[in-house]
Structure formats: structure tokens, C-alpha cells
Amino acid sequence: MNNRLLGGLPAATFLRRHWQKQPLLVRGALPGFSGFLDLGDMIDLACSDHCESRLVVRGADRWAVEHGPFERKRFSRLPARNWTLLLQGLEQMLPAARQLLSRFDFIPYARLDDLMLSYAPAGGGVGAHFDSYDVFLLQGPGRRQWRVGRPRDLALVEAAPLKILKRFSPDGQCLLHAGDMLYLPPQFAHEGVAVEACYTYSIGFRAPSHRELVSQFLIFLEDRLNGDGGGRYSDPDLSLQRHPAQLGERMIAKVERILRDISWTQRDVAEFLGGYLTEPKPHVVFAAPRKPLSEIAFSRASRRDGVELALASLMLYGKANLFINGEHYEMNKVVATPMRLLADTRRLAGNRIASKAPLTAMLYRWYRAGYICLSKS
């Protein structure tokens, strides 16, 4: 079935032709899209402790970046042009933001990063740059001019607080109106400048570096070794060494054998990925219910109303493994089907919640932790 969000392309065709390959401009991806925050709402969030926010101001000869939370009076001192306010992780705070992200579920949740919103008066932007991840740039109210191209010169503006390309020669440009969308693969340089006061919603996808994956996996393995108790270096065959400061060949060989014994399986990698990709960001706090229901009352209410994931919750699953907010559970046949449904749709209807002890006990534990809540409708 054709997908208007993708300009009439079926999702499979988009993935084959464009994903991580070439840009796509979609006119009227979401016709009449008006967004769900105005500047006043954005300032409220930027002044709170619960939202990652940045302010980018371009002066006559330099760029400046400030990080929130901000004091409200900061915004009354801004110039009429050439600045941008950015808010990240809106899906963790606003149901409308989470609903917008759900339109992009043709990309696995394991790749999803967050929803960022930027506001800029005329002339506002963050300079010509390129990202290491895929992004959909959905235009809200107002118009923004984009220039796009493969970067040919990677030199950056010296001493700038952002990675801004010093020389950018675009291959093309486009003016986005409300509801238009531009998809950009990784490494495509782009520069967006507000023609008038405008809002741009950026749906970004996670692409960890090999270095990050390796370092985090080694930490995962280290925790497992510590849990096993491991062994300890020993040398009962130590012989007299003429030079005490010399690193002995026998010691090197022993340590080499120890390191060579470290191994892992595909299951270890799956468990690592599930925990790593669902680990909440440092600023995320889950709000446990102030007056939690008893387990019996929760069981009745959940079978009546259903449950849904908290906005900030991240949930993935494998064959028999379930991951939520960095925690790992093994699923049996009783819980596997409803839990996979909860992970895929972020909701579980009451008629899907059987009065089976393993399922209700798990849901109740997550309810008390603030990972899930009773459905409101």
C-alpha cells in the first residue's frame, strides 16, 4: 500500500531506494501539519529541568551555543533574527510527539533515537553541517530553505562551538512549507535557514560508532566476568629474573592465554544489544504512581482498561528475551505474545491481559516502577 508520508512510495521501496542511499523530498507528507508546540510552550520546556535544550545564536562573525535549562528572561534579550531554539527527546514528554514517531514504525525501534523540535525566526539556522545518522526533517508552521549536497570539503569553521562546514557547495535546494518533509541519509551535508519564523521537527535515528559498540560490549563482558568470580593471575613457576624491571616473556604469554579464553556467543550479543539500546538516557526519570494500586486492584483495572508504556519507556524483544529500560527478562510462552504486542504497539488491551500470575506480576512491577501505566482511554 502506498504511503503518503513517503510520497506514495511503499515503505519497502523507500528502504530499497533511499534509506542510507539518497535523499527524498516529499511534498505534503502530512498535509496541513501544524505541529503541537508554539514558541511559548517551547520556552516553558527549555526553562525546565526535564528537557534537553540548546540555543544557537549567530552573530556578525561568530556562533554561540548555550545549553538549558534557561531563565525565561534570556529569551526577551534575543535579537529579532538569526537564532534557533532546539528541544530534544520530546517523545519522552508529549503523547503527540510519541504519536508522530509512531508514523515512522517502518524503521525498527532499535534504530530510533528521538524527536527534536527547532524554532527559528527569519535567518535562524545552525549552519551547514552533516550528521552521522539518518534524519527526516518535517516542516511545521512557517517556511525553511534547505541546501543539500554531498560534502566535498570537510574543513570546519575554526573555533566554532558547532561542527560547521567552512565551505559548502550544495547540489540542490528546496523550500519546505508546513507538512513537507525531507529525508537525508548519513553524511549528506545540509543547511536550513528560516525564511520566516518556523518550526522544524527532526526525527533522528541512532547510529552508534563501532568504537562505542565495542567499548560498551567490553563493559558488558566485564560485568559478566565479575559475576562469575573469574580467576586471578598466578605464577607458581616463577623463576629468578636478572632484571627486575623487565616485563617477562612468561608473564606476557600467561596473560595472552587468559585474554584468548574470553569468548562470547550470538546470544551474548543479543542480550547486550537489548540492554544497551533500551538503556534510558541519563536525564530520564520515571515517575512512579503517587498512590499505587494494590496488585489485586491493578490486575482488575488492567484487564478492564489495558496498559500502555510510559512515554519515556523503551522496549525491545528477541526470541525469548525481553528488554525494557535496560532490564533483561526471559519470556515463557505465557507472557511472550502479550509482551511482544506491548513492545510493538506500546499498548496492551485489557482483553489481552490474562489473569496469569507471571504476566500480571511483571506488569505490576513495571507499574510500580513507572515503566507502564493504565490506559486512559
Over the stretch 79-96, which tens digit does the pLDDT of each residue have? 999 999 999 999 999 999
- Angstrom distances, CA of residue 328 to CA of 272, 276, 285, 315, 358: 9, 10, 19, 10, 15
Which residues 6+ apart lie within 8 Å of 27 measured at CB?
Answer: 7, 180
pLDDT at 1: 41
Arithmetic mean of pLDDT over the chain? 93
**What is the distance between the alpha carbons of residues 140 and 201, in angstroms, rounded to a whole number?**
7
Residues 176 and 11 sit within 8 Å (Cβ to Cβ): no
Residues 197 and 119 sit within 8 Å (Cβ to Cβ): yes
User: pLDDT (tens digit, 9 = 90+) per residue, 224-250?
Assistant: 775 555 678 999 999 998 999 999 999
**What is the distance between the alpha carbons of residues 114 and 136, in angstroms, rounded to a whole number?**
11
User: pLDDT (tens digit, 9 = 90+) per residue, 353-363?
Assistant: 977 678 999 99
User: pLDDT (tens digit, 9 = 90+) per residue, 110-137?
Assistant: 999 999 999 999 999 999 998 999 999 9
pTM for this prediction: 0.91
**What is the distance between the alpha carbons of residues 173 and 257, in angstroms, rounded to a whole number?**
58
- What is the set of domains in the chain, with CATH numbers? 4-205 (2.60.120.650), 210-237+245-263 (no CATH), 295-374 (3.40.366.30)
Residues 5 and 181 sit within 8 Å (Cβ to Cβ): yes
